[in-house]
Every structure is written in structure tokens, then in C-alpha cells.
């Protein structure tokens, strides 16, 4: 079984639930936990994740975050600008994201991880 990577925020309930589901199905050495608020993905890494998810940057932005509403809502951004906004403000990245091989899912609901593990 190949390794999975989870972009994880320990303060997020959905992220914790998703990690728990992974831990129930896999051993700890098969799970790479990336605390993305501390280990911020590069723009290239985030673009790769978007490609694996098959979505645009706009769909990965947490638009209900206070940070988004107060600073960015109602403005128009290019794909590259949105990626850079998420890199500069990782709280805006939807979570959790689980990657395995060339597949990825957003753990909302957490059971989505079953599609790739």
C-alpha cells in the first residue's frame, strides 16, 4: 500500500476526523501528516494539488473565513493570484486534502478518503 499525504489542521474537526479514518485503515508510517499552516505549500505544490483534485483555485478557497470576507471578497483574481493568496494566507486553503499517488480528495465529508485509499 502506498503512502498518503494529508494537509492537516489539528484545530479543524473535519481534518481530525479524516486523519482518524486514515489511521484506522493504514499504519502511521504510511501516512505523512503535513500541518500546512506551518509547512506552507509552495505555489507549484498547490497548483499540483489543484490539478490532482481537478478543480480551480477558486474552489479550494475557504470563502467563509473571516480573513476572506474582510480582505478579499468581491474582488476578481486570476488563477495564479488565488494560488498566491492561499500560499500567503494558508488559512484560506480548504482542508483537509488527502493525496495518494496521482489522486487527491478533499475530506469533506471525511469519508471521501475511502475513494483513494
Residue 15 known to be catalytic? no
Torsion of CA 35, 41, 47, 51, to 10 degrees: -30
Contacts 24+ apart (CB under 8 A), 66-74: 67/91, 67/92, 68/92
Using an 8 Å Cβ cutoff, are 101 and 6 in contact? no
**Which listed residue (5, 12, 77, 87) is catalytic?**
12
Residue spans of alpha helices (H) in 1-117: 13-25, 43-53, 66-71, 79-88
Active-site residues, by number, are: 12
Amino acid at each position: 500500500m502506498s503512502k498518503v499525504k494529508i494537509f492537516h489542521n489539528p484545530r479543524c474537526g473535519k481534518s481530525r476526523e479524516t486523519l482518524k479514518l486514515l489511521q484506522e485503515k493504514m499504519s502511521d508510517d504510511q501516512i505523512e501528516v503535513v500541518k500546512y499552516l506551518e509547512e506552507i505549500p509552495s505555489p507549484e505544490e498547490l497548483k499540483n494539488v489543484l490539478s490532482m483534485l481537478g478543480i480551480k483555485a477558486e474552489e479550494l478557497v475557504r470563502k467563509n473565513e473571516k480573513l476572506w470576507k474582510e480582505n478579499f471578497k468581491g474582488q476578481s483574481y486570476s488563477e495564479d493570484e488565488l494560488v498566491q493568496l492561499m500560499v500567503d494566507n494558508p488559512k484560506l486553503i480548504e482542508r483537509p486534502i488527502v493525496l495518494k499517488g496521482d489522486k487527491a480528495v478533499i475530506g469533506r465529508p471525511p469519508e471521501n478518503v475511502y475513494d483513494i485509499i
